[in-house]
Amino acid sequence: MLRIVIPGAVFLISLPLAALAFKEGPYPNVTGGFGEQSCHLCHLDNPVNAPGGTLALAGVPQSYVPGQTYELTVSLARGGMRRGGFEIAARFAGGKQKGRQAGSWKVPDARLQLIPGAPGANAWTIEWTAPSAAAGPVQFNIAANASNDDDSPLGDYIYLKMMRSAPQR
């Protein structure tokens, strides 16, 4: 009888954890920037930016030209990663517009789901169009999940990164 009770109890305890996992993607506004939470809100059993993994954001200009489009590449790698994803935001870093959306995003192809790259690594290319008026520096916040793809928030690794781009003078 005890053998049945323990697995049953473990199953009941794990239900709320499984309900927190969303293959459709993250909650909005969980990039870790401007006082908001990150993916670590749900995927909390490993430390943020744990050794053994990397998150990179390439293509962010040191200074942006208003209205110009930039191709950015997000790269996430971690041994054992079976699925990966990210959320990114570009917001004004100061002034009257602080925390407001800066520019716009475009996914240059029709893929909405991850197409796996090498085992343990993935890269995505997106386009960011700088704001039409140079209202100040733009801060990019990105949160990425190197997931074990077990349909739960456990065993995943969250990586955060922040970069800035100043308006071109």
Q: Determine the pLDDT at residue 38.
A: 82
Structural domains in the chain? Answer: 2-167 (2.60.40.10)
Q: In this predicted structure, what is the pLDDT of residue 43? A: 81
**Could you report the per-residue pLDDT of 108-165, keeping only the tens digit for each?**
766 544 445 567 898 888 999 999 998 899 999 999 999 998 988 899 999 999 999 9
Residue 5, Ramachandran bin (φ over 0: left; ψ between -120 and 50: alpha; else beta): alpha
Supply the pLDDT for residue 28.
75
**Segment 32-90, tens digit of pLDDT:** 888 888 878 788 899 999 999 999 999 999 999 999 999 999 999 999 999 888 889 99
The pLDDT of residue 21 is above 50: no
Residue 3 has pLDDT above 70, yes or no: no
For 95: left if phi > 0, alpha if psi spans -120 to 50, otherwise beta; the answer is left
Provide mean pLDDT across the span 85-106. 93
Q: Which pLDDT does position 10 carry in this prediction? A: 34
Residue 24: the pLDDT is 61
Pairing relationship of beta strands 69-78 and 63-64 according to DSSP bridges = unpaired
pLDDT the model gives residue 56: 97
% helix, strand, coil for the chain, step of 5: 15, 40, 50
* pLDDT for residue 98 is more than 90: yes
Residue 86: CB atoms within 10 Å: 24
Q: Which two tokens stand for residue 77?
A: 């790698």
Nearest to 100 by CA among 108, 111, 89, 110: 89
**DSSP E strand boundaries for 19-117:** 53-58, 63-64, 69-78, 83-92, 104-106
Closest C-alpha to 153, from 57, 89, 83, 49? 83
Contact indicator for 129, 106 with CB cutoff of 8 Å: yes
Spatial separation of the C-alpha atoms in residues 105 and 78, rounded to whole Å = 26
